[in-house]
Chains A and B, each alone.
Chain A
Amino acid sequence: MSSETKQILTTDGIPLEVSLKKAERKNKIKAFLLVAPLLLFLIITYVFPIGDMLFRSVDDKMVTQMLPKTFKAMENWDGQELPDEKVFAAFHEDFIKLVEDKREGKLSTQLNYTKNGFKSIIKKLRRKSKSFEEGNYKEQIMSVHKRWADVEYWRAIQRRAPEFTGQKYLKGMDMYVNEEGKIVSVEEDRRIHRVLWLRTLEIAFFVTVFCFLMAYPIAHLLATLPMKYSNLLMICVLLPFWTSLLVRTASWMILLQQQGIVNDFFVGIGLVADDNRPEMMYNKTGSYVAMTQILLPFMVLPLYSVMKTISPSLMRAGKSLGGTPFVAFWKVYFPLTIPGIGAGCLLVFILAIGYYITPALVGGASGTLISNQIAFHMKSTLDWSFASAMGLMLLSGVLVIYWLYNKLVGIDNIKLG
């Protein structure tokens, strides 16, 4: 036999390789068409919104577009002394246009985010500007209010010149760019977000720990019980899934309130005095209890599916080789459940870190999380770009955790079933 490779031809003379590729290409196109709807759905409902969120969180075009001439004139201003007549004239021109379009209110809101005190002086300027004479706008504007003659306010306007800004992110960390352009923290008593971030991490961490401690024995029981009992137990575990989240949270409110069932029981068995009922709701305790219960199935299920695959003969082997039941568990059984522990913990932690309804209802002031703050900015202050910025910070936090997990345990080790 000769060892040289001869090109194999099909019956119609086309090389077999080409012909095979052609046949495979058809299949590939078919497969792609099958997944295309899902792909499209994912792009529309997932990639676009997140992209939009990213854009919104750094977008600062509004002021740039409202004061185009002013910013053009400010390009040569060094920011040390008050700007010269040219800047004032340009600002006046931009401002008159905004007044005509009735958009000066928006400008005042936006500038007020940057520095307090713009609202009233813009209102005043609008009234006075009707009687302005042509020329020497610097004098005229400065005479409207003494703040217009303060260089700080002009610097504040200049800071809004760029089309994109990271200041929302800084605000999310309780930091801002001060007059000198340095990034500094806000005063101690005005810091709210850092506390919330830390609390979110803390609650998510402990909820994960509690879930793990409770789910491990349950999952083990589920995996080892005979079928007829384990099915019943499985239904008990899954029952919360089939109940509305709101109903479950509301039932915790009934249980945990000061005149609630749990407190009544404690008083009944004499654990606490009737006039000294502990507050178990509208604080961290409420968040811990309700979130642990609600997220428990997410820990049980991956653990169960991993434990189900561990042959009982492994524990027996461990014991027959001389390991005490504890050694057999710790050296043999436990390491084999790590993929399930990883999956469960990651799942619960990521869900807990963005939890919203439950902490909003039972968390009170000291039990709310960062997501409640995001919702507050979405609904109440309407500062969507700030909400977007915090949302993205949360998302990148989750990605960091995911990355860390991959480094420490390895994402291939994850097993959901």
Chain B
Amino acid sequence: MALKKDFVKFDKVDKSYDGKVLVVKDLQLDIEEGEFVTMLGPSGSGKTTCLMMLAGFETPTNGEIYLDGKAISSIPPHKRGIGMVFQNYALFPHMTVYENLAFPLRVRKIPKDEADKKIDKALSMVSLQGFASRMPGQLSGGQQQRVAVARSLVFDPQLVLMDEPLGALDKNLRESMQYEIKHIHENIGVTVVYVTHDQSEALTMSNRIAVFNDGKVQQLSSPDELYEKPVNSFVAEFIGENNTFVGEVSDISGGKCKVKIANTDILANPISVKGKGEKTKISLRPERALINPSDKMDNIHSGKIEEVIYHGDHTRVRINLLGNNQFILKVPNSSANLDIKLGKDIKIGWNSEDARALDPS
């Protein structure tokens, strides 16, 4: 069976809690079957509200959500058959791990021997065999997390929602759980909608990422595209590190544009500017600007080193460049780069292709 392109579909969905402010505005989002889609955004951007509408705990004010072709707004949560992992796991504290996993099977009246097989399978999937008789309170945070994942998958749902499931774990555990969840997803091919405000988590795990801000999806694309080709300045600044210049377009021709910044023109890649005289914000990733540039680069400027921070494998260098004293460079620690000293003037170059001229906001 071919995978459905719009397995989950948000069709012009609005949501308002108080009738005054829309927390989700005209949301249009299609999720493919078997995909791992992350909703990423700052808190208050409407991503959790979207998840709650999908799970059935909130109803859209306007528009409709479709799951596998069916409109689900009028279906109560317990009939949607969607697995969910909650922020604080929401394991039932008075039940053992076994009983927690058996809960969704029991309410579906699945015979006991079949249920036991499913529970065994789910527990082995998160490598927690032998923990069935423990109470959730006797488990560590990471183990509870795995039980929550196992519970959301044990009844073979087609769609699993995860609401910042790793937020309460420490950094190392979080990273290993990211891979674990990713692998589970790859192995069983379930569709996952994941909510987080942690961009590295989103970049690591997802097939596609929907960046939310102000109740809208700013960009929906794969992690690499999101990082390399942000479509607006919010996405550029939200994902990864970013150097910005604010200026005015002075010329635009042949897929390049000239932007006037502090009496100097720099060449940039026009993404959302159309004509002369427009205000723009140029976004440039720190690792795309090089010291000791080759002559092939079409932007070469010099600036003064204001700060040097040693980071082990690389050094972060803050430079005052074209009136922007927050310009960051990431310099690999190789023997060629030993002459970086505070207060020195240094030449920096980049390709105009990597300097994306975006909207000015």
Contacts and interface: CB of A to CB of B under 8 A. Distances in A.
A311 B90 contact: yes
Contacts of A316: 55, 57, 77, 84, 86, 90
Interface in B57-84: 57, 76-84
Contact of A321 (B56, B57, B93, B103): B103
Contacts of B152: 321
B88 A318 contact: no
A292 B90 CA distance: 36
A322 B78 contact: yes
B104 to A, nearest CB: 4
A336 interface: yes
Interface residues of B, number: 27
Nearest to B151: A321
A314 interface: yes
B107 A320 contact: no
A91 to B, nearest CB: 71
Contacts of A321: 78, 83-84, 103-104, 107, 151-152, 155
Identify which of B90, B104, B108 gathers the most chain A CB atoms within 10 Å of its CB: B90
A313 B90 contact: yes
A323 B104 CA distance: 7
A320 B92 contact: no
A198 interface: no
A318 B151 CA distance: 11
A335 B103 CA distance: 14
Contact of B55 (A311, A314, A320, A331): A320
A317 interface: yes
Interface string A321-352: 11111011001100110000000000000000
A319 interface: yes
A202 to B, nearest CB: 32
A335 B94 contact: yes
The residue in B77, B80, B155 that gathers the most chain A C-beta atoms within 10 A of its C-beta is B77
B87 interface: yes
A316 B155 CA distance: 16
B87 A313 contact: yes
B90 A317 contact: yes
B82 A336 contact: no
B88 A320 contact: no
Nearest to A310: B93
A320 B84 contact: yes
Contacts of B103: 318, 321, 323, 331
Contacts of A313: 86-88, 90
Contacts of B155: 321-322
Contacts of A328: 78
B141 to A, nearest CB: 15
A318 B92 CA distance: 9
Nearest to A328: B78
Contacts of A336: 93-94
Q: Most B CB atoms within 10 A — which of A313, A322, A325? A: A322
B78 A319 contact: yes
Contacts of B55: 316, 320
B354 to A, nearest CB: 44
22 contacts: A311-B88, A313-B87, A313-B88, A314-B92, A316-B57, A316-B77, A318-B92, A319-B56, A319-B78, A320-B55, A320-B56, A320-B77, A321-B107, A321-B152, A321-B155, A322-B79, A322-B107, A322-B108, A323-B103, A323-B104, A327-B107, A336-B94
Interface of B: 55-57, 76-84, 86-88, 90-94, 103-104, 107-108, 151-152, 155
9 closest Cβ pairs, A-B complex: A321-B104, A317-B90, A313-B90, A320-B84, A319-B77, A313-B86, A319-B78, A322-B107, A323-B107
